[in-house]
Structure 1
């Protein structure tokens, strides 16, 4: 587990993690996602070798991305925006990485803004977005 990072150590342009996180969009992940969201439409049924996955599955991996750059205790996930660029397929691997694009203080609270990208095995962009976090208090 990465150590906590102080706010004054965070720099615009920082990329995290150094090597992208990789996740397989497995049938089990898709099935669990469909159960959790109550999606029983059948749109994502079929043989795994030709099965699509809900694009929103890419957002499941944001927690691990946020943990790769650890704020001290008390941090708050303030907001996020996600864009989906293409359908996902069961069995493909996504690589996710982020870059700090802004940091500022508002109402005496430090904020960090990061843009992220999730790319498929072919390097094509599957999802992208922006995450705004209120940084935890430095220890």
Structure 2
């Protein structure tokens, strides 16, 4: 029926992009570590689950396996929001299968957004995670000349965000320089605007645009270190990417536990989370939660 209503290239809610199978090998994990700097010893040795466990967002780029869900005008496109729910840990050596489908498309201010949901299941068919990636595209009438976003934008008062000022228990995490080698490991090997300055300029940006998912992974790293199994079982994130991280920027996540409430026989910690640059510019703001085990 869909083929009769929609053109085969149309980006419509309900379009299914099928599945891809991934083997979570030590080499696969090593690539993740090289791209993020998240070198948790659980990934290569004993963990609370027995043997090595994979990073929570080991399939961070599965949503980009096919870009058929992107709108035609990719000039100035940006990752705008990321939702993630974790249901079970993934052990190194497991085989995972994804399924991707467009679940929403909407217009907000001068951009149009497409939302791609990815379900990940293990060999037994258990769903281990669900993510929703909101990608934004300039409307046709908003097509611009020159840079769509430059470094001065983040200094505008409209790009200032208040978060982390409530009372609560802080979660600290070290800052990290996002090198060009990390960008290539995380977003390569094909050259694109996430790892190559010239490609970035071609799409309307003055410097390498660090893939937004990398900062999302840094938040997941912080939550894993703080909550351990309580994040890998039942962790949640809802993050808005509000300013660009450029190549060679220094950035890092922070959190503040602002509430705890019962969930069955356990307690769930609700956390305000954000990422700062070295100069205090916020690049991600949002919320996350985990069980306290």
Do both proteins adopt the same fold according to a TM-score greater than 0.5, normalized to the shorter chain?
Answer: yes
**SS of aligned partner of 1:28:** helix
Name which of 60, 67, 81 aligns with 1:79: 81
- Spell out, residue by residue over 1:26-53, the C-alpha distance to the aligned partner (whole angstroms, 9 max, x if none): 1101123234433444222239xx4321
Larger fraction in strand: 1
CA contact (8 A) 1:58 1:127 kept: no
Deviations 1:53-108 (A, max 9, x none): 1222121433325x243432223221111122111111222211222222122224
CA distance in 2, matches of 1:30, 1:136: 35
- 1:37 aligned partner: 36
- Aligned mates of 2:109, 2:80 — CA distance in 1: 14
Aligned twin of 1:24: 23
Q: Residue 109 of structure 1: CA displacement?
A: 2.1
Question: Which of 107, 111, 115 is the matching residue for 1:113?
Answer: 115
Pair 132,102 (structure 1): closer, same or farther in 2 beyond 3 Å: same
Aligned residues: 127
1:3 paired residue number: none
1:99 maps to 2:101: yes
- C-alpha distance in structure 2 between counterparts of 1:33 and 1:132, whole Å: 22
CA distance in 2, matches of 1:113, 1:38: 28
Distance 2:37 2:108 in 1: 38
Structure 1, unaligned runs of 5 or more: 1-5
Name the Cα RMSD after superposition: 2.6
Work out whether residues 117 and 129 of structure 1, in 8 Å CA contact, stay in contact via their aligned partners in 2.
Answer: yes
* Residue segments in structure 2 that go unaligned for 5+ positions in a row: 1-6, 141-293
Further displaced range: 99-108 or 35-44: 35-44
Alpha-carbon distance, 1:124 to partner: 0.8
Structure whose CA Rg is larger: 2
- Given that 1:112 and 1:134 are in contact with CA atoms closer than 8 Å, whether structure 2 keeps it comes out as yes
Shift of 1:137: 5.8
**Normalising to structure 2: TM-score of the pair?**
0.38
Distance in 1, matches of 2:31 and 2:116, equals 28
Which contiguous aligned blocks of 4+ residues in structure 1 show a shift greater than 4 angstroms?
none
Aligned equivalents of 2:114, 2:70: Cα separation in 1: 12
For the structure 1 residues 38 and 111, does the alpha-carbon distance in structure 2 shift closer, same or farther, using more than 3 Å as the test? closer
Q: Which structure is higher in RCO with an 8 Å CA cutoff and minimum separation 6? A: 1
